[in-house]
């Protein structure tokens, strides 16, 4: 047999075809050897398909937050996460809650804030991002499993929330702590506080988020909620 020729065939046409040519060159083949070769071919084909699937598999991460409202710190986190994964799912937590002091905006309004802000940023490929609202459940441990039913499969969680990190680490999921960009200024609590007291807040959120809040009279809502909360106590 011309071994070198078969090696070339393997390189040129693939190992499976090389096996076929090798078999065809042998004049007399014992049945057991033929069966062995056929099983090897099936095994090799299966391995090739698995390797192809691994290569094509998209790395996906989730970024969980309430986004009340979506601010510049969140925007920095999205950009950071997109450097680590092919696709990012922005999970809007507490999706069922709105018109409260900690959660003044509805899930729909938050989706508007996030989507318009990401679409307007030329450094972000918004096609790589999904935005999915997820409601709370009474049992914290079960919430991560409920989330699994509502988002595509993922391998990585981006979060600065210590409790969220604990929940996912207990499940063996990779958790990446995100960059805390200007944390003293950029927090939803502080932005809502500034809105309630008529202080400047627009410079702490993307322009598009500020427009959404203005369009829905969000500042008036935050003030009314704060006033009602004070009178209620």
pLDDT digits over 45-97, tens only? 666 566 555 445 789 999 999 999 999 999 999 999 999 999 999 999 999 99
Helix (H, G, I), strand (E, B) or coil at 201: coil
pLDDT, the chain, mean: 84
CATH 3.40.50.620 fits 60-232, yes or no: yes
Q: Which residues, other chains included, contact 82 with Cβ-Cβ below 8 Å and sequence gap of 6+?
A: 88, 124, 125, 128, 129
Biggest distance spanned by C-alpha atoms of the chain = 96
Q: Is the pLDDT of residue 12 over 60?
A: no
Question: In this predicted structure, what is the pLDDT of residue 1?
Answer: 47
pTM of the model: 0.74
Task: Give residue-wise pLDDT tens across range 172-195.
Answer: 999 998 877 787 788 999 999 999
């Amino acid at each position: 047999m011309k071994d070198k020729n078969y090696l070339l065939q393997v390189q040129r046409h693939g190992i499976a075809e090389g096996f076929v040519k090798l078999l065809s060159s042998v004049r007399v083949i014992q049945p057991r050897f033929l069966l062995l070769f056929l099983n090897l071919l099936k095994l090799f084909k299966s391995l090739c398909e698995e390797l192809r699937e691994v290569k094509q598999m998209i790395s996906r991460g989730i970024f969980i937050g309430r986004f009340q409202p979506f601010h510049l710190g969140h925007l920095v986190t999205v950009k950071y996460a997109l450097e680590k994964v092919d696709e990012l799912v922005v999970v809007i937590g507490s999706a069922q809650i709105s018109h409260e002091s900690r959660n003044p905006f509805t899930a729909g309004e938050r989706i508007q804030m996030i989507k318009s802000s990401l679409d307007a940023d030329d450094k972000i490929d918004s096609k790589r991002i999904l935005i999915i609202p997820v409601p709370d459940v009474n049992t914290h441990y079960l919430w991560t499993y409920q989330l699994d039913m509502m988002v595509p499969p993922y391998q990585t969680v981006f979060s600065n929330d210590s409790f969220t990190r604990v929940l996912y680490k207990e499940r063996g999921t990779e958790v990446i702590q995100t960059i805390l960009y200007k944390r003293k200024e950029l927090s939803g609590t502080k932005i809502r506080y500034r809105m309630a007291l008529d202080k400047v807040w627009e410079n702490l959120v993307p322009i598009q988020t500020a427009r959404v809040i203005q369009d829905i009279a969000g500042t008036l809502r935050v003030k009314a909620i704060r006033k009602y909360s004070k009178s209620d106590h």
